[in-house]
Amino acid sequence: MLKTQFRFCITGFTLPCSASAGRGIGREFWFVILTLMSMVMLTPTSTVAQDAAVSGKKKIVVCSTTQIADFARNIAGDQWEVKCVLGAGQDPHSYRTTVADSRDVAGADLCLENGWNLEGHGWMRTLAEGSQRPIRTCVAGVKPLRTEDATGEVKDPHAWMDPENAWIYVKNIRDGLSEIDPENAELFASRADLYRYQLKSLKVWIDTQVNKIPLQRRILVSHHDAFGYFCHAFKFQARSPQGWSTAELKGVSPAKQQSIVQMIRAQGVKSIFIETTLKQEMIAAIAKEAGVKIGGELYSDAMGVKGSAGETYIGMMRENVLTIVQGLK
């Protein structure tokens, strides 16, 4: 708006003068121009501050997964706008980025990825680097659980499933926001401190809940290895036919499915679980063959839709634990 009015002022005063008048106009001309510029700048309808508000000057953080976006919202408050590439129920391993994702990332002041190839073939990093936007990796500082696939040993990327690791994500997000926006660093730190209390409470609550399941019955069977950190933290055995990624491995061998069926029978597993981000056919087939019930649906690589009980990280963890306890106790 300011730019437009300034142009108008110049036009208004240059029209009576020929272009060749140029320097000859001298001081008087520039005095009038500067006076009018001051008036324009002081006019309430054209203040720079208002223009900034209208054009939305909030900084933008673009997150890869729904969990990371929830952490970011808890730390950024209203100072930043939080965008997320994945939606509820979307699978990060097999996700294919869109033109709209590239556009969002190009406008980001900061990008956040999970890391350790949760985003299949590093799609979030590719987007950020393609637009030369800064990116932070949320698993930085997490002690990795190792797993294997056809390529050899890899770091299990599903680290958020342990609330203690979620705190490491939050710290990385807090530091990333503070580095780019130091004026609000104190606010980010205060919000992170509160969230840490919530994560600590969550962990204590999960401990009390899972204690309803005898140790020998703590066997968590789901579609893919999303629950390794959860199982490690709360003394479960994690078993899945798929492996750590739904994208890296092509399908599941009948032999692998059979070994899961036999394990379920041998251990007397009471329930097995489907995942919100994956089709349920394979788990349904295993349940049928092993003669075991499906204990419900677990939030694995994405949170629930807005308005659902699993729409936040704490909500998804709570609902998962309640489902698991109901199914296995």
Total residues at interface with Zn ion (CB under 5 A): 2
DSSP string, 220-274: EE-SSS--HHHHHHTT-EEE-SS-S-TTTS-S--HHHHHHHHHHHHHHT--EEEE
Q: Cβ 157 to Zn ion, closest distance in Å?
A: 7
Q: Going edge to edge, which strands form the sheet with 135-137?
A: 80-84, 59-63, 110-113, 135-137
Question: Which range, of 14-22, 81-89, 186-194, 296-304, touches Zn ion by CB under 5 A?
Answer: 296-304
On whether the CB atoms of residues 320 and 158 are closer than 8 A, the answer is no
What's the CA gap between 231 and 101, in Å, rounded? 33
Q: What is the nearest approach in angstroms of Zn ion to the Cβ of residue 274?
A: 14
The verdict on 301 binding Zn ion (CB under 5 A) reads yes
Encoded one letter per residue, x for contact with Zn ion by CB under 5 A and - for no contact, window 21-60 reads: ----------------------------------------
- Minimum CB separation of residue 248 from Zn ion in Å reads 10
As measured in angstroms, the least distance from the Cβ of 225 to Zn ion is 7
| Among 24-32, 71-79, 143-151, 220-228, the segment contacting Zn ion (CB under 5 A) | 220-228
CB-nearer residue toward Zn ion: 119 or 319: 119
Nearest to 65 by CA among 109, 111, 28: 111
Beta strands in the chain (DSSP E): 59-63, 80-84, 110-113, 135-137, 146-149, 152-155, 219-221, 237-239, 271-275, 293-298
Q: What is the number of the residue whose Cβ is closest to Zn ion?
A: 301
Site for Zn ion in 176-195 (CB under 5 A): none
Q: Minimal CA–CA distance to 244: which of 154, 113, 143, 320?
A: 154
Helices 2-14 + 26-42 axis angle, to 10: 150
Give the residue with the Cβ less far from Zn ion, 178 or 246.
Answer: 246
Stretch that binds Zn ion, among 49-57, 126-134, 287-295, 299-307 (CB under 5 A): 299-307
Q: How many CB atoms lie within 10 A of CB 276?
A: 23
101 binds Zn ion (CB under 5 A): no
CB-wise, 116 or 234, nearer to Zn ion?
A: 116
Query: Would you tell me the crossing angle of helices 313-328 and 185-210 to the nearest 10 degrees?
Result: 0
Q: How far is the CB of 95 from Zn ion (least distance, A)?
A: 11
Cβ-based nearer residue to Zn ion, 65 or 178:
65
Q: Which stretch binds Zn ion (CB under 5 A): 37-45, 59-67, 98-106, 298-306?
A: 298-306
Q: Which residues contact 120 (CB under 8 A, 6 or more apart)?
A: 92, 93, 94, 95, 245, 247, 248
Is position 226 an interface residue for Zn ion (rule: CB under 5 A)? Answer: yes
Nearer to Zn ion (CB atom), residue 195 or residue 244: 244
Span near Zn ion by CB under 5 A; candidates 36-44, 127-135, 188-196, 224-232: 224-232
Q: Which residues bind Zn ion (CB under 5 A)?
A: 226, 301
